[in-house]
Amino acid sequence: MVIDVGGTTTDVGQLRRGFPREANTVVEVGGVRTLFRMPDLLSIALGGGSIVERDPIRVGPRSVGYRLTEEALVFGGDTLTATDVAVAAGLAQIGDHRAVAHQPRSGGSNAGQDTRDDRGRGRSREGRGS
């Protein structure tokens, strides 16, 4: 599995014997149907530049894209992005982590609460086992 997290999308592909798995269908390039063998990729509209909104909590689909180093909090900007959330959670070391030190380490109404029962299983908000 190969994953490339970019500024606006995350691309996922699979390698077989060191080569990309090829799509077995007709591929459209610039509106033209082709039979060229292309790598089989899945693109998800979630990248490091995806804008995070708080009320209600939402990630994307808007993105700062290539302007990440100008607009993200960890780079001195004023837009909360997925990169800022990753830095605040300790999952990434990029930019100035002090810029997101005031951000919660996790989101949701039960942030900071233990969500595991005494057997190590996750609990729903109602306290039932998952």
- Mention every residue, 6+ apart, whose C-beta is less than 8 A from residue 69: 75
What contacts 25, CB < 8 A, 6 or more positions away?
Answer: none
More confident residue, 42 or 50: 50
Q: Looking at residues 52-68, what average pLDDT do you find?
A: 90
Query: What pTM was estimated for this model as a whole?
Result: 0.61
Q: Which tens digit of pLDDT belongs to each residue from 72-121?
A: 999 999 999 999 999 999 999 999 999 999 887 654 443 333 333 343 44
The domain ranges of the chain are 2-100
Distance CA 23, CA 51 (A): 31
Q: How confident is the model at residue 37 (pLDDT cuts 50, 70, 90)?
A: low
Strands annotated E in the chain: 2-5, 10-13, 15-16, 19-20, 27-29, 32-34, 41-44, 50-54, 57-63
Weakest-pLDDT range from 27-36, 54-63, 64-73, 100-109: 100-109
